[in-house]
Structure 1
Amino acid sequence: MNAGVTLIVLGAVLLLGVAVWLFLQARDQEYQSDVKMRLRVSGADEAAISQGSSTIRNPVLRWICHLFWRTGSEIRPEAVVRLLLGIVVATVLLTVIVGPFIVLPVVGIGLTLVYMLLIQRAVWRRIKIVEQLPAYLENVIRVLAAGNTLDEALNQAAREAPNPIRPLFSSIGRQVRLGAPLEQVLSEAGEIYRLRDLKVMALAASINRKYGGSMRGVLKSLIVVIRQRSSAAQELRALTAETRFSAKMLAFINIGLFAWMYVSNPKYYDVMINDSTGLLLLAGSGTMLLLGFVAMWRMLKGIDESES
């Protein structure tokens, strides 16, 4: 395949991607227009209209936005779309200029590393939220004892809470003030941030709203469960410290060895780089290395997530 045919194929792929993006954007705008019209007919204010227009129907875009939101970022879906489009355009241009055997592995490894960094930051943030949750729920119980409702107690306790739990429950309180049911907001927040404790609170709030009962007893039991689970997770991390260190060394030693050999003797890989079979072997070995790296990272991630 010569350079002209390659350029035509890549241009066609780029145009197809732009067409799909425009189609999805048109669907989202149509849906948002319908939501705004229904909210205006029902007499909602501009804040509620803005809140309703933030619904993301595209599953891929929703997944990426949730991934960023778990890290504490407040990135808008429109910015994510522009970012993805820029990555696609840059990849196509670099593929035409440099070649697919170099650009595609580099882009794949780069996106994988960014994904891992985002996941790791989200895990650390979730662990921090779980650590702060018992103290926050104790403040909620004290506010409930003064005769306030659950949503008022959550909002007042959030004002005195530290980061990152304060912006989380401040957002929950803001959505409740806009008219959303408390149990629904808690359930959605638990789904976005992958916090099982928020789902338990949502279930308790739903039962309390329908059948009554005391929320203080449920919250006290939840505090005990969170602290017991955190203690067990810390013990697990201590028992697996040596194994996790060995996994990290195995993951990075191959990359370090390859970089050292290439820097010390750049001509060592010239034969493989200038041969099609050698390029396939390098691509295959890089793919297997990446898969092994992802597998070990997933095992380490499972240990980190046990704390939440």
Structure 2
Amino acid sequence: MNVGAIILFAAALILAGLAIWLLIYADARARRDEMLLRLRAGEEAAAAVRSSREAQLRSPLLRFACHMVWRTGSEAEPSTVAKMLWVLSAMVPVTLLLFGRFGGLAVLGLVFAFGYGFLRQRAARRRAKIVEQLPAFLEAGLRVLQAGNTLEEALSTAAAESPEPLRPLFVSVGRQVRLGAPLEQVLIEMAEIHRSRDIKVIALAASINRKYGGSLRNIFRSLISAIRARDAAARELRALTAETRFSAVVLAVIPAFLTIYIYLQNRLYYAQMWESLGGRITLIVAVAMQVIGVGVIYRMMSVTEDNE
């Protein structure tokens, strides 16, 4: 393996990571400056007519990337996420040029799989904290409802008393509602982004209450009991299947690392196989079976994830 190619790829990867970090930093600073200017100029009414971030996502790829980023707690704008995708796309020809066709595809697959796993893990941890904090949040909102306040006031008051990461989530909901967005629509968008059935239930309850009336207090009580019972069952299931899930991860990772190791030790091994029809068919079938196997293992493991 050419050491120079590895050094160039590492440098390109570091530069790409630095570019993404600068984009995130610039976006956060621009959002902060815009908020300060809006507060000084009193332009909240003008901001109410702006479409939501969700309405800007016309591309399925951009929508998927934005949802992955937002689930980790970032508030990056769709334009910033699109620039990140362009930076990552620029890494594709560089990697193929440095490592060749087969090696480049293997390295790209490994890098993107690691990045996806990292984002998914951060989102899963954040979602677990949200689910853990929801019962206390709903109890605080229930007390405000019992005092005769509206659902919007209950959610706003409960959000002010909640810790991270639930507080900024519902503070953002309250901000959008004050700017004129319907509460049900904001909650539905949040539930879709964070894949939370509980928030979707709150949105449906708010919609039904607004149209037909009814008691939100009973719904909140039932939802609190259901969340706690499901969380206890999920924890028990994860504990019982820990060994199985670890074995699944090993079975999914070992073939990929073994393939990369063989390629790094002998680059002609797969090149000679690719030259013959039988070897080409063998490689294609092997890759297809590996992808299918990883997909099956992923679906099996996602059963133990909450709110998937």
TM-score, normalised with respect to structure 2: 0.74
Q: Match of 1:131, as an amino acid?
A: E
1:47 aligns to 2:47 (yes or no): yes
Q: For residues 54 and 121 of structure 1, what CA distance do their matches in structure 2 show?
A: 21
C-alpha distance after superposition, 1:36-57 (max 9, x if no partner)? xxxxxxx972322445476224
Question: Paired residue for 1:137?
Answer: 138
CA 1:79–1:57 in 2, change beyond 3 Å: closer, same or farther? closer
Q: Match of 2:186, as an amino acid?
A: V
**RMSD across aligned C-alpha pairs, in angstroms?**
2.8
Contact 1:109 1:290 in 2 (8 A): no
CA 1:150–1:271 in 2, change beyond 3 Å: closer, same or farther? closer
Q: For residues 242 and 236 of structure 1, what CA distance do their matches in structure 2 show?
A: 11
Q: Match of 2:100, as an amino acid?
A: G
Q: For residues 239 and 94 of structure 1, what CA distance do their matches in structure 2 show?
A: 41
CA 1:271–1:248 in 2, change beyond 3 Å: closer, same or farther? closer
Deviates more, 1:142-151 or 1:284-293: 284-293
Question: Paired residue for 1:71?
Answer: 72
Q: For residues 51 and 152 of structure 2, what CA distance do their matches in structure 1 show?
A: 18
Question: Paired residue for 2:29?
Answer: none
Q: For residues 53 and 247 of structure 1, what CA distance do their matches in structure 2 show?
A: 37
Question: Paired residue for 2:214?
Answer: 213
1:165 aligns to 2:163 (yes or no): no
Query: 1:152: how far off?
Result: 0.7
Deviates more, 1:45-54 or 1:83-92: 45-54
Contact 2:263 2:269 in 1 (8 A): no
Question: Paired residue for 2:112?
Answer: 111
CA 1:53–1:64 in 2, change beyond 3 Å: closer, same or farther? closer
Q: Match of 1:305, as an amino acid?
A: D
Q: For residues 115 and 199 of structure 1, what CA distance do their matches in structure 2 show?
A: 25
Unaligned runs of 5+ in 2: 1-42
Q: For residues 263 and 148 of structure 2, what CA distance do their matches in structure 1 show?
A: 69
Q: Match of 1:58, as an amino acid?
A: R
Question: Paired residue for 1:12?
Answer: none
Q: For residues 66 and 91 of structure 2, what CA distance do their matches in structure 1 show?
A: 21
Question: Paired residue for 1:272?
Answer: 270
**What is the total number of aligned residue pairs between the two structures?**
262
C-alpha distance after superposition, 1:169-222 (max 9, x if no partner)? 111111111111112211221112111111111111112122323211110011
Q: For residues 59 and 151 of structure 2, what CA distance do their matches in structure 1 show?
A: 32
Q: For residues 241 and 78 of structure 1, what CA distance do their matches in structure 2 show?
A: 39
The ranges of structure 1 where at least 4 consecutive aligned residues each deviate by more than 6 angstroms after the TM superposition are 259-263
TM-score, normalised with respect to structure 1: 0.74
Q: For residues 199 and 237 of structure 1, what CA distance do their matches in structure 2 show?
A: 24
Q: For residues 143 and 54 of structure 1, what CA distance do their matches in structure 2 show?
A: 30
CA 1:192–1:272 in 2, change beyond 3 Å: closer, same or farther? closer
- Aligned to 1:55, the other structure's residue is in SS state helix
C-alpha distance after superposition, 1:133-184 (max 9, x if no partner)? 0011000011112222110110111011011111111111111111111122
1:95 aligns to 2:93 (yes or no): no
Matches within 5 A, 1:280-295: 280=280, 285-286=286-287, 288-295=289-296
Contact 2:95 2:108 in 1 (8 A): no
1:299 aligns to 2:300 (yes or no): yes
Unaligned runs of 5+ in 1: 1-42
Q: For residues 179 and 215 of structure 2, what CA distance do their matches in structure 1 show?
A: 25
Q: For residues 163 and 75 of structure 1, what CA distance do their matches in structure 2 show?
A: 18
Contact 1:251 1:293 in 2 (8 A): yes
Contact 1:158 1:169 in 2 (8 A): yes
1:245 aligns to 2:277 (yes or no): no
Q: For residues 128 and 53 of structure 1, what CA distance do their matches in structure 2 show?
A: 24
